Each structure stands twice: as structure tokens, then as C-alpha cells.
Structure 1
Amino acid sequence: MQFVIAACLAAMLVLVFGNVVLRYAFNTGIPVSDELSRLLFVWMVFLGAAVTLFEQAHLGVDTLVRRLSRKGRIVCFALSNLLMLYTTWLVFSGTWQQFGINLGMTTPVMGISQAWFFVPVLIFTALAAAWFCLSLLRSLSGRMSDDELIGVRESEEDFDITQMPPGDARPR
């Protein structure tokens, strides 16, 4: 998924930079540049949100949860995942309605359906819902460590670089 995100970013860079150069140097441009860059940006943001969720790289405050017993941590983890699952449902249902509304509308230049701007949100919410359900099942069955129940990383420096696959610069 990270390759797709990088490809979106690279394509956006080429499209926008190329369009700027063409406009200023040759008084012309690429007509689809703006629309395609916007579409790629939406895809990049929601795919990036999915990667962040799977890597548990989100922000959090653990002041209260660290002081709780394991049972208290499980209860807090389950409640927070249920709330996030509900929020994911709200985003999915609203996006699904917008998808239906915009299905017959086309973009002015590219002529593709406006619904393509909502597809990455639908993909993200489906992946996020699956992630929250699996996390709930793992926590309620007792198959999560205390660190996973807290789910907050203090710093990127806390990671052992030897545990990363070769060529991977991301913390795990």
C-alpha cells in the first residue's frame, strides 16, 4: 500500500510541477492536471490513514490507561474500539450516500464520475472496521499484551532498528 501512496505523491509532483513549468514557460498547461492531482491526493490521504492505523502510529494520551489494571485496560481498549467502530460506521454510511448522489455526476475536465473521490473513503472505512473488530476480538479473548492495550508509542527512538526488514526505514 505504501508503494501506491508513493506513486500518488510522485504523480502529483510531476503533474503539478509540469503544469507550473508549462504555464510560465510556454503559456500552456495540462488540462487534467488539477483534477487528477486532487483525486490522487484524496486517495493518498485515505490510504495513508489506513497504513497509519495498521502500524498503530496514531497519536494518543496514555496517562490514565497506564495507571489501570489489565482488566481496566481491556475495558478502556474495548470501549475506545467500539466508539471508533461506531464513528467508522457513521463515516461509511455518510460516504455511501454521497457516493450514490455523485455517481451520475462527472468531473468537468476528465469526465469521470465524481464518485471516484469517495471510493478511497469507502475502502478506508471497510479496512478500519475490520481492524477494529479484530482488535476487539483479540482484546476480549486475552490475546493482547499490555503494551498493545495501551497502544501509544513514546518516541520513535524506542524502537529496535535491528527488528526492521532490510531497506525499511520505518519504525515497527
Structure 2
Amino acid sequence: MTRVSRFFFRFLDILLALLLSAMALMVFVNVVMRYTMNSGLPLSDELSRFAFVWLTFIGAVVVYHHRQHMGMETVVAQFGRRGRLVLMGLSDMLILGCAVVLTHGTWKQLPINASMSAPVSGLSMAWVYGIGLFTGAGIILITLERLYRLATGRITEAEIRGFGGEMDDLYNTAERPPVKAGERGE
């Protein structure tokens, strides 16, 4: 993975943490205000919902990048190396198709959302629903890179094992020293 890619996904990790923190803080303040003063901040409700949408869609790209999304590992684990490679290619093609539909649909819907404003903050709803463009484009780019590596034979054995549900660390492919019987907590 290139340095730029690592920096970008580190930035997304930090952004996700900030969104989650802001969302939790806004909801907490609103709960306290409603309990103690019988009032709340409508802007806080709206912005926390927007943060949740962004958190979900940005998180989808990060999870997909780390291959931590849901899969049918029980089925894939029944196949050998060649079968897993074929299934990996098929699943990536399906994911690519879905991401293209998401991106295209978001692009077509964007002018409609841009003409609407959020009721409390007045923000254009394009800021809320436009995140689908980022998610779709991010998943498309990641999938194209994976398909390229699959077609050129650059997929690592750790990735193939991980695709089948074997819990190896995909990002640390260095050999680990064997664990002695007494160190396992037996």
C-alpha cells in the first residue's frame, strides 16, 4: 500500500472518530438539556443525524478497504486456492456493479437533493446525501485495484486465506514465531 493511501485511510479513521465524538456529544447535551431544562437544541438533533449518515457511509469505505465487511466465509472456506480466487473475482465484480449503481443513482438524485434544505439548519440536503458519491467512488476504486491485482496474480496468500475466513492478520504477513503450549493459557 502506498504512503498516500495509508495517509488517506488514517485521515478517514480520524474523521470517523471525530464524527462519532461530535454525534455522541450532541446527543448527550440534548438528553441532559431535555432532562434538566425540559428543552433541547433542534440543531443538535439534525446535525447528529447528518453525522450518523456520514459516519455510516465513510465507515463503509474504510471497512471495505480493510476487508472486514460481511462475507459468506462458510461457503468460501470449502474451496481451495483456485476456487477462492474465482469466488473473489465474482464477488468483486458484483460489488463493482453495486457500487456503480450507487454512484450513478446518487449522481442522478443530487440535483433534487440540492434543491431541498434541511428544516432546522437550512443546509442543502446534497451535503447529506451526496456522501453516496464518495462511498460509491471509493468502493469502485478499491475494487478496481483488487481486480487488477487478482488478474495479474498479485493477490497475497494471506488475502486468499482471509477471504475464506481464516483469521490471519492481512496487514502483517511476516512470519510469527510459533506459540509454545504453555503460552496459550492452557
Q: Is TM > 0.5 for Structure 1 vs Structure 2?
A: yes
1:131 CA displacement: 0.5
Distance 2:141 2:169 in 1: 27
Pairing partner for 1:85 from 72, 96, 118 = 96
Task: Name the amino acid aligned to 2:60.
Answer: A
Q: Once superposed, what is the RMSD of the aligned Cα atoms?
A: 2.2
Task: Name the amino acid aligned to 2:83.
Answer: G
> What's the counterpart of residue 22 of structure 1?
33
Shift of the 67–25 alpha-carbon distance from structure 1 to 2, 3 Å rule, reads: closer
> What's the counterpart of residue 18 of structure 2?
7
Question: C-alpha offsets along residues 30-57 of structure 1, whole Å, 9 cap, x if unaligned?
Answer: 2201110010000111111111111111
1:8 CA displacement: 0.8
Task: Name the amino acid aligned to 1:13.
Answer: A
Pairing partner for 1:134 from 145, 152, 161 = 145
Task: Name the amino acid aligned to 1:23.
Answer: R
Query: Is the CA contact 1:12–1:41 (under 8 Å) kept in the aligned structure 2?
Result: yes
Task: Name the amino acid aligned to 1:132.
Answer: T
Question: C-alpha offsets along residues 45-90 of structure 1, whole Å, 9 cap, x if unaligned?
Answer: 1111111111111222234434445443322221111111001111
> What's the counterpart of residue 118 of structure 1?
129
Question: C-alpha offsets along residues 129-170 of structure 1, whole Å, 9 cap, x if unaligned?
Answer: 000000000001001123423524445xx549x98xxxxxxx
Task: Name the amino acid aligned to 1:61.
Answer: M
TM-score by length of 1: 0.82
TM-score by length of 2: 0.77
Shift of the 159–141 alpha-carbon distance from structure 1 to 2, 3 Å rule, reads: closer
Report the count of equivalent residues: 160
Q: Which has the higher contact order (CA 8 A, sep 6+)?
A: 1
Pairing partner for 1:51 from 62, 70, 82 = 62
Shift of the 66–16 alpha-carbon distance from structure 1 to 2, 3 Å rule, reads: closer
Distance 1:152 1:98 in 2: 37
Worse overlay, 65-74 or 77-86: 65-74
4+ residue stretches of structure 1 with deviation over 4 A? none
> What's the counterpart of residue 149 of structure 1?
160
> What's the counterpart of residue 72 of structure 1?
83
1:95 CA displacement: 1.7
Query: Secondary structure of 2:30's match?
Result: helix
Query: Is the CA contact 2:73–2:165 (under 8 Å) kept in the aligned structure 1?
Result: no
> What's the counterpart of residue 46 of structure 2?
35
Query: Secondary structure of 1:113's match?
Result: coil
Task: Name the amino acid aligned to 1:21.
Answer: V
Distance 2:102 2:29 in 1: 35
Distance 2:112 2:25 in 1: 32
Query: Secondary structure of 1:23's match?
Result: helix
